[in-house]
Structure 1
Amino acid sequence: MSDDPPEGEAVDEVTRRLDDALERVAHGAAVSVPSILLQRALTVAFTAALTNGLGAAPYGLFALARRTQRFLSRIVLGFRNGLSRFLPTADQEERDALATFAALLLLGVATVFGAGLFLLAPRITAFADQSQRFETLLRVFALGMPASVWLFTVTEVLRGIEEVAPLNLTLRLLYPAAQLAVGAVGAFVVGDIAFVAGGVLAVMGLTGVGAAVWIVRARGFRPRIRGEGLAALRRRYLGYTVPLFLGGIATTTQRLGFYPLIAVFLSGVAGGVFSVGVLVSQLVRLPLMAINQFIPPVAAALNEEGHEDALSRLYHVTSRLVLVGVVAAAVPVVVYRETVMAAFGPTFTEYAPLLTLFVFAQIAACAAGSVGILLRMTDHQQALLVTNVVITTVLAAVAVPLTVQYGLAGVVWTYLLMLTLNNGIEVAVLYHLEGLQPFTKRHSYPLIAAVPYAAVALGAYVLAPGVVGAVVGTLLGLAVFAATMKLLGFTPVERRLASTLVERYGELVPGR
């Protein structure tokens, strides 16, 4: 006699697992969206303060130096990815051991990388033919590398244990608010970009320390180095994260390799424009960022427990919801690109046409949903490593000639190509290895609804150019977009999810 449950019970179990997973992910997203919006607003305000207070060229040097440090720190942070993979299913002693080992590993590697950057700063400056100010900024960021890595290590622990509120308070409010305060003082009082760099790193370290104190007090985490079975646990952690660390070199080159390229071939102003273009276009990524807050532990648990059908349906639903949100955010940024870029000063307004390419790049990055995370959570980090190495090799061959030939526009076209290739190939790899793919016919619905949305927004822009027309056009366009999506229809799963969210958070909406 078979031990398998009857077919109806199996379907009910998949539905139950799916609803539970979606509710957990949606809870993280619902709580995270306001905080991510606030974080992005504070970061935009910080950037605008520097560009308007100190000028495009000093901000450009700051951006180039900071991204050079971030290039190295992102590689180091490849070692943190095991926290989201293993913490959700670990007991308290294992959690203590994992957090301790990861923290020591990350801080140790960050210190080595920071020292290397500090010593090489003069040579990097000379090779890029930049000013002494650039060297000073490089050295400041090199000294602060452990502080920046510490902040993101602690917040990864919060993500792994699904502490939504503390994560958002730390990463989305306290740190960006303190960064904005430092930026405002540095730009309008002190008038020194090096002061801003040092202040930003100081608040990163202090915020990370505060979050760590909360974890120790509220969740009972304690440093744990010795104990039975810990050596095997550390080997398992390293076995999982070393490929991600190595793959992070390729991934980080894809994401941040543009800044060294700009430093060598272009100017500080070009670095500032590219940085602002990425910053503004990443506002479009908000839906994916919200979903990704807690999809790693949820997907890891479904994979660990063998719930493949629920994981597949979770991917379908979340990727479509992400695309709906991304398209809704992308249309006004493209239509009102000149108004948006004007907030950073006249130099940036001249480059407003490039913002369209930045936005298309973000749509390409988000269309497949959480594909990279799912590859990691299904333990295919080695395949992810090979994929990223191949993509990085292709881009390295393309980026330099495009930059030399077309300048900043060539860099932006390379950025668009990189995100499109990266996500397209990762989807193919995930489907080959796990049979998971994000797309259904319903993924075309947001693209269809975007047509009347864009028409309304563009009409408002023609009738009333400027901020007022942008606000009115966006609101009217969103109403048309929502009506079109409703007409095209939602699935029963999406309706159940909406009902659950309304029931859970409805009392927070004014007027209800």
Structure 2
Amino acid sequence: MADGGEDQSRVGSLASISRGASLYTIGKVISDVGEFLLHLLVSRLLGAASYGLFAYGKTLAFTALLVTNFGSDESILKHLPQYENEPRKRRFMLGLAWVTSAGGGLIVSGALFLLAPIVSNLTLSDPQFVSVLRLFAAVLFIDTLAGLLYSTFRAVQLVEYEVLTKRVLKPALRVLGVGGVIAVGGSLYGVVTAMVVASAVTFAVAVLYFLRRTEIRPTLRSPGNTRGTVREYYGYSLPLTAKEAGTVMQGRVDVLMVGFLLSSTAVGVYNVSVLVAGVLYVPLLAVNRLFPPVASRLYTERRRADLTAIYSVVTRWTLTASLLIAVVVVVFRVEILALFGSEFTAGTVVLTLFVVSQLWNCATGPSGYLLMMTDHQYVVMATEWLFGVANVVLNYVFIQAFGLVGAALASAGVLAARNVTKIAAVWYFERLHPYSSSFVKPLMAAVVAAAGALVVEATLSGVPAVAVGSVVAAGCYGIVLAVAGTEPVDREVYRLLTASPDE
């Protein structure tokens, strides 16, 4: 690392990312517990078929959410930090984001509401799915606007308010609402209605935090309202919209095609496997909370050495955290899926394939955000489209041939190939890569942790196996990492995070 002021600045940036990641991880754990309980309640009490309808409607809404704001959420992550010293331009950029998101959300959610009967006939062909899908259209519009607030909190490094609203309040309200509906014998329609209410209350609280904790106010009446500024905004956000369209084709199209080609029960089994494997994605999501604004600032200031070092460190952190989760999920895959019901254990192969692909996703770090923050958004867009089209084609062919496992083979393979391409693009355009000999330590620790978990799996079963095995795996993992020794930069970041304000 560099010496003196540069060294302190770099450690400070890493500490900022680490604080955001820590807060996000706490919130994400709470959110995932809430999501787990939500899906557990619906799957066990309403059955695999009704759960399939719920999961399919939720997937459609979530998929549409990726494109409703036309790249505005990603755009403000770049522009608000970039124009920190130009407040009028910042306010205008935020105003454009609000107008774009509101318009996009209204168009897409309105289309989903109106086309619900057609979507139902083409997919699950269940009469109650129409009303369920229309309720999810309401969730989609509310969450589109809320997403802009969450991105604003991240852009100004107030990630704690994103965590409090999106990661703590919303899942808590969902579980309480859905649990209450099911407790009184409510239907699937009542379950989704509770989700609409939870989204609306969360959005209201997020607006309150935005007004009280930030000084940026969106406006279109500003000296920053110039043709050049508008061109700059949409020149960045529209390619990201196209990129998100590609992400839709490779991200959740597998679930949609399972519903189209198989059944609602198959959707339920497949979605639970994807949900469990998604836990591995948490460490990468955590560092991505504040990596984009930090990377944008460093790139703008031409601090290339700092950017390279931070990219490497956060990638290693991500891999280190995800490896332990992967060990536990793969070793105890049957026991974990059985929690949702015996019929969900049919997804063990699907779960294993997705764990491998998500592990590779985490091993490539925030490479996609690094490309976007270094003005290579068109490369990201082309990559997402290339692999999105490949995913649609491969899913159609593989599902026909291999059923649920075929969908997992197609999507997991595409995800791995996409991330290899992004790493290669970062090297080609910026001559950066995140890897070093320090990555060997977590790999060695994972081997030892897997051995410990397998011993437990051979002697126990059910929930006790998962509980004891997780503790044993974590203990083995931590011991190996401690013996191997921590990196100097990790110690510096820890010192800075734990130092008292007076130090």
Per the normalisation by structure 2, the TM-score is: 0.95
Tell me how far apart the structure 2 counterparts of residues 371 and 326 of structure 1 sit (CA, whole Å): 16
Residues 64 and 271 of structure 1 are in contact (CA less than 8 Å); yes or no, is this contact kept in structure 2? yes
Residues of 2 paired with 1:141 and 1:437: CA distance? 41
- The separation in 2 between residues aligned to 1:383 and 1:14, in whole angstroms, is 30
Q: Does residue 80 of the first structure (1) align with residue 73 of the second (2)?
A: yes
The amino acid of 1:461's aligned partner reads E
Matches of residues 352-501 of structure 1 in structure 2 within 5 Å? Answer: 352-501=348-497
Deviations 1:79-131 (A, max 9, x none): 32111111123344333322222112111011111222222222222222521
Please, which moves more after superposition, 247-256 or 391-400? 391-400
Counterpart residue identity of residue 385, structure 1: M
Partners of 2:218 and 2:481 in 1: how far apart? 50
Change (3 A) 1:504 1:133: farther
Between stretches 31-40 and 139-148, larger displacement belongs to 139-148
Q: Using a 3 Å threshold, how does the CA distance of structure 1 residues 259 and 477 change in structure 2: closer, same or farther? A: closer
Number of the residue aligned with 1:335: 331
| Contact 1:254 1:418 (8 Å CA) reproduced | yes
* TM superposition shift of 1:393: 2.3
**Equivalent position of 2:118 in the other structure:** 123
Aligned residue type for 1:408:
L
Q: How far is the alpha carbon of 1:170 from its aligned partner? A: 0.6
Distance 1:282 1:81, change over 3 A: same
**Counterpart in 2 of 1:346?**
342
Residue among 135, 138, 143 paired with 2:133:
138
> 1:23 matched to which residue of 2?
15
Partner of 1:212: 207
Work out the CA distance in 2 between the residues paired with 1:404 and 1:459.
Answer: 38
Q: 1:23-62 residue pairs with structure 2 within 5 A? A: 23-62=15-54
Task: State which of 142, 147, 152 in structure 2 corresponds to 1:152.
Answer: 147
CA distance in 2: counterparts of 1:109 and 1:38, whole angstroms: 30
CA shift digits 1:467-505 (9 cap, x unpaired)? 223222221222221221233333211221233334369
Contact between 1:14 and 1:307, CA under 8 Å: does it hold in 2? no
Counterpart position of 1:187? 182
Matched residue, 1:163: 158
Comparing 46-55 and 77-86, the one that deviates more? 77-86
Q: Distance between the aligned counterparts of 1:142 and 1:167, measured in 2? A: 22
**Conserved in 2, the CA contact under 8 Å of 1:283 and 1:329?**
yes
Task: Report deviation, 1:304.
Answer: 0.8
Mean CA deviation greater in 161-170 or 473-482: 473-482
CA contact (8 A) 1:53 1:188 kept: no
Separation in structure 2 between the aligned mates of residue 59 and residue 227 of structure 1, nearest angstrom: 49
Ranges in structure 1 where 5+ consecutive residues have no aligned partner: 1-7, 506-512
Q: Which residue matches 1:270?
A: 266
The alignment of Structure 1 onto Structure 2 pairs a total of residues equal to: 497
Amino acid at match of 2:380: L
Q: Is the 8 A contact 2:249 2:389 kept in 1?
A: no
- Residue 68 of structure 2: SS of its match in structure 1? helix
1:303-357 CA distance string (max 9 Å, x none)? 1111011100101111011111000111111111122112211111232343212
Q: Residues 16, 500 of structure 1: CA spacing in aligned structure 2 closer, same or farther, 3 A cutoff?
A: closer
The 2-side partners of 1:229 and 1:221 are apart by: 14
Worse overlay, 410-419 or 399-408 = 410-419
State the AA in 2 paired with 1:326: S
- CA-to-partner distance for each residue in 1:246-266, whole Å, 9 max, x for gaps? 111001211111122112101
Give the drift of 1:298. 0.8
What letter matches 1:342 in structure 2? Answer: A
CA distance in 1, matches of 2:179, 2:318: 34
Q: Which position in structure 1 is the counterpart of 2:301?
A: 305
Rounded to whole Å, the distance in 2 between the matches of 1:503 and 1:269 is: 52
Structure 2 contact 315–365 (Cα < 8 Å) conserved: yes
* 1:107 corresponding residue in structure 2: 102
In structure 1, what is the Cα distance between the partners aligned to 2:143 and 2:110?
A: 14
Aligned to 1:5: none
Deviation at 1:159, TM superposition (A): 0.8
For 2:224, the equivalent position in structure 1 comes to 229
User: Once the 2 structures are TM-superposed, how far is the Cα of residue 446 of structure 1 from its aligned partner?
Assistant: 1.6
Contact 1:296 1:374 in 2 (8 A): yes
Conserved in 1, the CA contact under 8 Å of 2:331 and 2:450?
Answer: yes
Residue aligned with 1:55, SS: helix
Show the counterpart of 1:261. Answer: 257
2:151 maps to a residue whose letter is: E
Structure 1 window deviating more from structure 2 (79-88 vs 435-444): it is 435-444
CA contact (8 A) 2:390 2:414 kept: no
Name the Cα RMSD after superposition.
1.8
Give me the whole-angstrom Cα distance separating, in 1, the residues matched to 2:336 and 2:163: 26
Q: Percent identity?
A: 27
Deviation track 1:263-291 (CA, whole Å, cap 9, x = no partner) reads: 21011111112221121111122221211
Alpha-carbon distance change, 145 to 354 in structure 1, aligned in 2, over 3 angstroms: closer
AA aligned to 2:431 is G
**Corresponding residue for residue 292 of structure 1:** 288
Q: Are the counterparts in 2 of residues 162 and 294 from structure 1 also a CA contact under 8 Å?
A: yes
User: Which 10-residue stretch deviates more, 344-353 or 420-429?
Assistant: 344-353
SS of 2:152's equivalent in the other structure is: helix
**Residue 355 and residue 43 in structure 1: after superposition, are their counterparts in 2 closer, same or farther (change >3 A)?**
same
C-alpha contact 2:89 2:224 (8 A) present in aligned 1 = no
> How far apart, CA to CA, are the structure 2 residues paired with 1:260 and 1:442?
40
User: Residue in 2 aligned with 1:3?
Assistant: none
Matched, 1:70 2:54: no
- Asked if the contact 1:270/1:408 (under 8 Å) is kept, the reply is yes
SS of corresponding position for 2:54: helix
Moved more, 356-365 or 71-80: 71-80
Q: Where does residue 4 of structure 1 map in the other structure?
A: none
Shift of 1:455: 0.8
Unaligned runs of 5+ in 2: none
- Following TM superposition, where does structure 1 have runs of at least 4 consecutive aligned residues deviating by more than 6 angstroms? none
